[in-house]
Amino acid sequence: MQPCNLVLADSDGTLVWSSNTTGKSVSGLNLAETGNLVLFDTTNRTVWQSFDHPTDCLLPGQNLVSDNSSQGLFSLTVLNGSWATYIDSDPPQYYYTSDNPDSPYWSFDGHILTALQYPPTSIAQYIQLGHDGHLRIYQLDNLENNMLGLNWKEVCDILTLSDCGYPMVCGRYSICANEGQCTCPAEVNFFRPFSERKPNLGGTELTPISCVSSQYHSLVELKNTAYFSFEFSHELNSSVFWIEGKKIEDCQRACLSNCSCKAAVYDPYLNMSLGGNCLLLNEVFSLMDVAVGTTFLKVQNSPNAPVIFPRQKSPFKVIIGCTLIGIILILSVCSALSKKRSEKRKAGDFLDLELLKNDKCPTSVVNEMSELLIRPGQYSSL
């Protein structure tokens, strides 16, 4: 501790953190039973306390207010009369909101969230918003059963979400199924996993999206997929990124016409002819495997490669189909012409004979002429 200042430094003396109380009258330091670290002056007045600076942990009795935040990928905040958790993005992507304000783990009056000790007889507890987005309560184990040192065990996971409901459960661009099974999109021309052996790390684009070459943008369709923030986006984040009552084609066009859009999530909650809801994302985290829903991922095509748009048939299949139809038509025409010529030839063989069979021509002449008629493939000399 420096004069009037509490600091945290590396082994080489490099400053990591400071209480920024230099110049203030600090005479002592006290760690309260609640876990609150307090710097006080000669009159025992608090100059600085750790409870005023929440990080990823919240101790019993510590308050969380909306105007005091720290940096991190995940955040817990007070919003619109409730508290919510979100992953850092622009705009924020929410994945949980408090539906019931009554809980043995916290109290909330609409403005301040206070962590409560539960059960009250516990030695020590804290709530932590982890690097995976889970909000867990930890409790100190009985020291009699732990002779090697302090040991914290998890008491509960407060958010009560399914594994696939967390933004980074499968990393970016990967699809979560069966409570945590991760797969990268099958479109290997546009995406690749960070690690073949660790699919939970997610994937990345092979070619980053460029607004300079927006004419080469297209969408890759992922059927039976949804997004964790879909149900929260409308009520907590009303913006241009949420579109109601549109057809799936409108959702695609909206993303392609907006360079900041990297994906469009469509849910046909109504009859397909009436339209559904569309969420545009400018940052893509984990996707969810569902029975109904479609996600379109924007990809950057090479200038030399044909741009492939969603819901269009493969050009190769179209060419093959047209070729087969053409061959069938040609064979049909040739068969019809051949049959017609054959019928004409057969009719011509007996044409003269039929003309001779009339009342003006004697029967003897007809019989003689029939023997002299030239058949196809035969020759006669008179």
Most confident of 111-120, 168-177, 313-322: 168-177
Q: How many residues does the chain have?
A: 382
* DSSP alpha helix (H) spans, the chain: 230-236, 248-256, 315-349, 351-356, 363-372
pLDDT exceeds cutoff 90 at 161 = no
Domains 54-161 and 175-300 share a fold: no
- The Cβ of residue 257 has, within 10 Å, a number of other Cβ atoms equal to 10
Best CA proximity match to 75, nearest among 131, 36, 9, 25 = 131
pLDDT exceeds cutoff 70 at 373 = no
Per-residue model confidence (pLDDT) at position 366 = 41
Per-residue model confidence (pLDDT) at position 121 = 64
Most confident of 22-26, 58-62, 191-195, 269-273: 191-195
Per-residue model confidence (pLDDT) at position 31 = 92
Answer yes or no: are the C-beta atoms of 233 and 240 closer than 8 Å. Answer: no
Per-residue model confidence (pLDDT) at position 181 = 92
Question: What pLDDT digit, counting tens, does each position of 165-175 carry?
Answer: 999 999 999 99
Look at residue 135 and give its three-state secondary structure: strand
pLDDT exceeds cutoff 80 at 186 = yes
pLDDT exceeds cutoff 50 at 279 = yes
Q: What is the pTM of this model?
A: 0.70
What contacts 24+ positions apart, CB below 8 Å, involve 112-116?
112/63, 112/64, 112/65, 112/78, 113/63, 113/64, 113/76, 113/78, 113/83, 114/61, 114/62, 114/63, 114/64, 115/58, 115/59, 115/60, 115/61, 115/62, 115/64, 116/60
Per-residue model confidence (pLDDT) at position 168 = 95
Overall fold of domain 54-161: Agglutinin, subunit A (2.90.10)
pLDDT exceeds cutoff 60 at 316 = no
- CATH number for region 1-53: 2.90.10.10
Best CA proximity match to 167, nearest among 264, 286, 56, 289 = 286
Overall fold of domain 175-300: Hepatocyte Growth Factor (3.50.4)
Answer yes or no: are the C-beta atoms of 91 and 146 closer than 8 Å. Answer: no
Q: Which residue carries 């189909």 as its tokens?
A: 321
Q: Which of 111-120, 181-190, 326-335 has the lowest mean pLDDT?
A: 326-335
Per-residue model confidence (pLDDT) at position 255 = 95
Which strands form 57-58's sheet, in the order they lie side by side? 57-58, 125-129, 135-140, 152-157
Output the average pLDDT for the chain. Answer: 78
Answer yes or no: are the C-beta atoms of 167 and 192 closer than 8 Å. Answer: no
In the DSSP assignment, the letter for residue 309 is P
Instruction: For residues 241-250, give the mean pLDDT.
Output: 84
Q: In the structure, what pLDDT confidence band is assigned to residue 86 with cuts at 50, 70 and 90?
A: very high
The domains of the chain are located at 1-53, 54-161, 175-300, 319-372
Q: In the structure, what pLDDT confidence band is assigned to residue 83 with cuts at 50, 70 and 90?
A: confident
Best CA proximity match to 218, nearest among 257, 183, 191, 185 = 257
Instruction: For residues 94-106, give the mean pLDDT.
Output: 74
pLDDT exceeds cutoff 90 at 60 = no
